[in-house]
Chain A
Amino acid sequence: MKIAITTSGKDLDAPVDPRLGRAQSFILYDTETAEWSLLDNAQGVNAAHGAGVQAGSALVNAGVEAVLTGNAGPRAFQVLSASKIKVYVGLDGTVREAIEQFKAGNLQAAGGASVGSHFGIGM
């Protein structure tokens, strides 16, 4: 299955990004083949408004079934859950560690946003 992990870096040893709408990038990871690619989140980082909508839409279009992140704001969460994509919050540490936790089945899907809007820009 294809999953996405937010990251402030460029590879599996980079840290998980605590933000979703304003996350620097996403690592798209295939749990079956262990292949991965980096998806830039420029549209979310640079959006004046609605970063969560943009990032959420980009992840929907990337065809992932789950998103691992530090936090998720209300609009990103809405967009992802409307597409039945599971959101897992509270991840910190590296992308690799987050993937291991997901594969081990230790994570519980979030029932809603973990932070309010504008969290990613410190408001």
Chain B
Amino acid sequence: MTIAVASGKGGTGKTLIATSLALVLQDAGSVEFLDCDVEEPNAHLFLKPHIEAKEAVEVPVPLVDDAKCTYCGRCAEVCEFNAMAVLKDAVMVFSELCHGCTACWVLCPEEAIRPTGREVGVAESGWSGPIGFHHGWLRVGEAMSPPLIRAVKARARPADFVVIDAPPGTSCPVVESVREADAVVLVTEPTPFGLNDLELAVDMVEALGRRAGIVINRAGIGDGRVNDFCRSRKLPILLEIPFDRRIAEAYSRGEPLVGAFPEYRLRFQELGRALQSMVKP
């Protein structure tokens, strides 16, 4: 079973929830943990993995052979991302815009384009006790994260549970992280910003056809509008964690929630069971 932990609003507690969920699930079966926030990986601060393997991840970008190119402009025409400009006697490739879709080299009538690699970052794998751990480091200045996220996901070994710590937001990196999950946990906070971004996240998850359950973190700091929203959209609230400054303090020390507050283990076991019955009713 693959569970993705996402949010919409950043800073709601995805890593807090994902790391503790993984630590509790390890008693129920084998667990692989994927930190898919490759722009700002942070789960390693809590799971403290021993990293054993790392590889550079590249995206294919076009390289034009000027000898064969007739400057017909077909490649620029088919490029959805405006990564190519065909001038009178040269082709300019803006590789940072290229998404590696392959259309240009597949459709070039002169077969004048071939793919070459552009490094977007590094993927690393290791172990955190019995939990298999994987994450990625996007190159500083790089905007193209989905290919690195795909590479991180591909490194997961077969396991009973795959827990994905998704990036914040609702755009391409998040879609890539959650699109194949059996269930998505959306972590929110009971504030207007939390609610606004939760609504966006729910729309995204439903558009992807994923089942969703809600975790309300820092319960008590706002009002009940998030609960009303969940009720109106028939979204199960799987866990509520009350605001407690001591939780934030433990987090700032790199301590997983269930490590610093073992009384939470039971609540995360219940979360795990609720997710399992959502997926296999």
Contacts and interface: CB of A to CB of B under 8 A. Distances in A.
B51 interface: no
B88 interface: yes
A123 to B, nearest CB: 13
B97 interface: yes
A57 B81 contact: no
Contacts of B76: 57
A57 B84 CA distance: 9
B94 A53 contact: yes
B90 A82 contact: yes
Contacts of B85: 53, 56-57, 60, 79, 82
A57 B90 contact: no
A19 interface: no
Interface size range on A against B: 10 to 19
Contacts, number: 38
A71 B29 CA distance: 59
Interface residue SS majority, chain A: helix
A50 B83 contact: yes
A28 B154 CA distance: 51
B82 A83 contact: no
Contact of A47 (B82, B88, B94): B82
A56 B83 CA distance: 12
A49 B81 contact: yes
Interface string A25-53: 00000000000000000000001111101
Interface of B: 76, 81-88, 90, 92, 94, 97
Given A82-B90, A83-B88, 5 more contacts: A49-B81, A56-B85, A60-B88, A79-B92, A82-B85
20 contacts: A47-B82, A49-B82, A50-B81, A50-B83, A50-B94, A50-B97, A53-B82, A53-B94, A53-B97, A56-B85, A57-B76, A57-B85, A57-B87, A60-B85, A60-B87, A75-B94, A79-B87, A79-B92, A82-B85, A83-B87
Interface of A: 47-51, 53-54, 56-57, 60, 75, 78-79, 82-83
